[in-house]
Structure 1
């Protein structure tokens, strides 16, 4: 892990992410890229060319000053911090910055959302989770222990999950973490027998690893929703982190079907790391 991106909006939750990044940076000698997304108002964007330049310069200087103050924290001492200000209108474009700088991880703070507000408005964190091609770590508080010794990786063991699985194993091997895999079996029409699930898991590891060495680390649980199954199992295992693939669904597909990865990231008290399918 060499480069960590932290989107900063000067809120307490973005500071939670910054503190977590600082801990990981110290542990792995990584660089922290603190990214502020400067959103220009419509008034600035529609002003005349000369006036537009003056207003843009004013907001850039104001942000730079505020950014400098925000990054002047004792816990960032002796850490390589690179401040970046981009003139983007939405947080989904964080992924472009990650690709440009060859970053390994994005860390975002989130207070979580629920109900109709979540469906209609969403959050900056959700947008990044949906769009990012690299892992996204979502944290909820300032006292995150980055010694991720026990990780629960939730998986449906479909072939489309092989890529995020491989990326997750690579990430957690580098962190010396123990991974427990969990499959959540649901009632009604989505119920599968133990034999059906095991066949799916065997096929998955055969294609992903070429062996069945990790079969002993797979757990089957039953619950009413995938989200509840993941959260309940993680609490039972005393997990330090929940990891999972996410489809990154958008628009109507996201509205009607949702994304378990986003739901868990929203509602878990544990930190959650997502890997895009």
Structure 2
């Protein structure tokens, strides 16, 4: 890991993300790219060329001053920090910035006040997750000590998740963390018998070429099961594979566990399949 992209809007939540990114950067000897969307309005861009240039300079100057104050933090000392300002209008374009800057990881903050269904579906965070080709870590509260010892990788046992698993496995190794694989078996149309689940487990393990225990956890919904299991193993992070533009909606539609997710402050990593 060489570069970590941190989108900031100068809120306390993006500062939480920056502090976590700094801790990862120090452990990995990586640099940090602080990205801010200047967001110059259409009204500015529709003015004369001279007016447009002057107002654009004004907004960029304000952003630079804010970033100077925002990054004046002891935890950033000794880290190679680069600032990128761009006039982007939609959060999905952050993936383009990540590609341009050759970022290996995105760390971003989220208030998470309405649980995961809102944090990941129909929000700016979800837009980043759906388009990002690199892993995204979502931070919802301040973590002055980002000490990752237990990571839960929750997935549906499909073989397409193999690359996502490998990415999370490598991340766990960098922190010397224990990786817990879990399949949430729910009631209803998606319910599978133990023998059906075991067949999928055997096929997945054969594909990755490793013998790793995979926990079968029964619960009323995938969302509820993930967080109950994460609590059971004292997880410091939950990792979930995503399907690109499908986002995470398939995990949370109709979930009765929203109240549990709403109160969870566990960092979440998403990895593109």
- Whether these two folds match at TM > 0.5 is yes
Q: Given the alignment of the two structures, is residue 276 of structure 1 paired with residue 267 of structure 2, yes or no? A: no
1:146-190 residue CA offsets vs partner (Å, 9 max, x unmatched): 221111100101122122112222222232221110000011221
Are the aligned partners of 2:110 and 2:119 in contact in 1 as well (CA < 8 Å)?
no
Match of 2:249 in 1: 258
Q: Given the alignment of the two structures, is residue 102 of structure 1 paired with residue 98 of structure 2, yes or no? A: no
CA distance in 2: counterparts of 1:105 and 1:121, whole angstroms: 21
Match of 1:68 in 2: 68
Match of 2:216 in 1: 220
Match of 1:51 in 2: 51
Q: Given the alignment of the two structures, is residue 122 of structure 1 paired with residue 122 of structure 2, yes or no? A: yes
Q: 1:119 to 1:53 in 2, by over 3 A?
A: same
Shift of 1:86: 1.2
Residue pairs, 1:196-207, within 5 angstroms: 196-207=196-207
User: Aligned Cα RMSD in Å?
Assistant: 2.3
1:125-161 residue CA offsets vs partner (Å, 9 max, x unmatched): 2211111110001111112542211111001011221
Are the aligned partners of 2:155 and 2:241 in contact in 1 as well (CA < 8 Å)?
yes
CA distance in 2: counterparts of 1:121 and 1:218, whole angstroms: 28
Shift of 1:210: 2.6
CA distance in 2: counterparts of 1:229 and 1:121, whole angstroms: 19
TM-score, L = length of structure 1: 0.89
Match of 1:132 in 2: 132
CA distance in 2: counterparts of 1:185 and 1:249, whole angstroms: 24
Aligned pairs, number: 266
Q: 1:40 to 1:28 in 2, by over 3 A?
A: same
Q: Given the alignment of the two structures, is residue 88 of structure 1 paired with residue 88 of structure 2, yes or no? A: yes
Are the aligned partners of 1:17 and 1:109 in contact in 2 as well (CA < 8 Å)?
yes
SS of the residue corresponding to residue 240 of structure 2 reads: strand
CA distance in 2: counterparts of 1:155 and 1:174, whole angstroms: 21
Match of 1:232 in 2: 228
Q: Which runs of 5+ in 2 are unaligned?
A: none
118-127 vs 229-238, which moves further: 118-127
SS of the residue corresponding to residue 134 of structure 2 reads: coil
Match of 2:209 in 1: 210
Q: Which runs of 5+ in 1 are unaligned?
A: none
SS of the residue corresponding to residue 137 of structure 2 reads: strand
